[in-house]
A and B are shown apart, each in its own frame.
Chain A
Amino acid sequence: MAHLSEGTLRRMVDEPDANAGADARHLETCTECKARYETVAGDARAITSLLAAPELKVDVASAFNRVRSAPAARPRFGFRLPVMRPGSRPVVLAFAATIALAGLVVTAIAQGGSIFTPTTVEPVPVTVADIQALSQLSAYGNLTWTTKPNLQIVTSAAEAESVSGLKPPTANNLPAAISKNVTYAATPKAVAVFTFSKDKAAAAAAGAGKNLPALPSGMDGAQLTVTAGPAVAEIFGNMTAPKAGTDITQAGVPTLIIVKSSAPVATSTQVTVQQLEDYLLSVPGISPELTNAIKAIGPGGTTLPVPVPVEFATSSKVTVQDVAGVGLGDNTGVGAGVIWVKGGSVYAVVGTIKLSDALDIANHLT
């Protein structure tokens, strides 16, 4: 019998039973093949250790929920914006979390009265774990979208305006390094309602082995409604749509994003949001991270809190367009941004640029 091929020997290393029979008998008796087998096995072991990876612990249930909540409709060009993909790390996470959360859940628990519209912004240092803990609010009530966000990628400023009703801002002073290719994204307004549930909160308290503290009048079924948007974004960068079937991550990474959104509005029924917040903090079993998130954000008033993940970004107070704003310069030097509120709209300029450039662009925005 001829000697065993390298491929056969390689498989015998991994799956000894697969080649039982003639091949196995040959290996038993052939010293040359035995020696080659040892070499192949040694190489295989070396490669296995080369390809060692850090331990991966997955939570299949929560991963499934994230995938299920991904937008159902395919965007028009068949690709999603890398910067808006949930969980992209790390710099993008800081910006995405900042913008998205500032508009929604955070606003909801920030306000002190029963109606809240922000007129200024304030940086709030939090950790990513704190932000993620906000999803635990679902243990105390039901969060539903009465109008879901419907982000669309469009080709022109006019189309973006027809989707959102907002005229995209004009950037008059772009650094030379910024691509002149602009992609527009727009969404009509979105409305989310959080309904506090006595039963759910009681179950959460029972999970900690405690009873629920006495409910203030009107607390059960109290509703918090948050309206975010409409919003329009201009994305500067070579965002060429990849050919069908190719990997979407091959779409270019944007170098600059300018966002204009109507300032979010929150209203509550039956109780003030301050009461709801105080009560939530008194429920047994609430995690330290969620407590941090709620405490860091309150008391609000007319200030829109901008959560800044301390792991990834530093924040500073800046003046932009003659109003107070939040400057973001991340620790890696990879990107920066400015966020401010003016005339009932929230604006953001973020990108892979220096903070001074972001301020310059922001100040010349019309």
Chain B
Amino acid sequence: MASLRSDEESFEALFTAEYARVAGIANRVLADPHEAEDVAQEVFIDFHRLHSASAQYAPAWLHRAAAHTALNRLRGARRRQRREIAQATEEMDRTADPQKLLEVNEDRRQVRQALARLAPRPAAVLVLRASGLSYAEVAQALGVGIGQVGTLLRRAEAALRKEVVRGTSI
């Protein structure tokens, strides 16, 4: 019976159900699978220390924490520099066409810089939705009404486009 499960068992079930999605949200922000898994594990560790895994709000908490923790990392200039070096080194090994790789990296870098300049809520709504969360899940994660999600998303998309354009025209 679910109610008789120990917290450890509940945590494992929660981890199994949500890990891929939590890591996916972080990867959407960071565009770096390794660091995304770092963030996901950190988020689960923090959750486990402070909350019960059977709490109803658990998935919403994890989704929001993944987005905000990853966005905070993105804003850390030193980390960004290190990540780009690591990413470039790893992808150089895998990719045959260095010119194409440079272009893809440059695009990703510009989009992530723009994302880092957005306010926390628009940035979070964009990455949560782009990570495949439903409108209901996005609403729960951000603590807003489901009816607001479409409006927030539309505004956030406009803001991101503006930031990307600003970033490339400097």
Contacts and interface: CB of A to CB of B under 8 A. Distances in A.
A67 B41 contact: yes
A253 B31 CA distance: 22
Contacts of A48: 130
A55 B15 CA distance: 20
B89 interface: yes
B86 A89 contact: yes
Interface residues of B, number: 63
Interface residues of A, number: 47
A40 B48 contact: no
Interface centre among B42, B72, B108 (most CB of A within 10 A): B42
B27 A56 contact: yes
B99 interface: no
Given A43-B161, A54-B27, A63-B41, A249 B127 contact: no
B62 interface: no
B150 A47 contact: no
Interface stretch (A6-14, A27-35, A174-182): A6-14
A58 B38 CA distance: 12
A85 B19 contact: no
B16 A64 contact: yes
A66 B158 CA distance: 39
Contact of A70 (B45, B73, B82, B111): B45
B41 A66 contact: yes
Interface string B144-169: 00011111111001101100100000
B135 A11 contact: yes
Interface in A275-333: 311, 332
B23 A85 contact: no
B48 A67 contact: yes
A55 B33 contact: yes
Interface in B80-119: 81-83, 85-86, 89, 91, 107-108, 111, 115
A50 B42 CA distance: 27
A47 B126 contact: yes
A47 B33 contact: no
B159 to A, nearest CB: 10
Contacts of A332: 82, 85
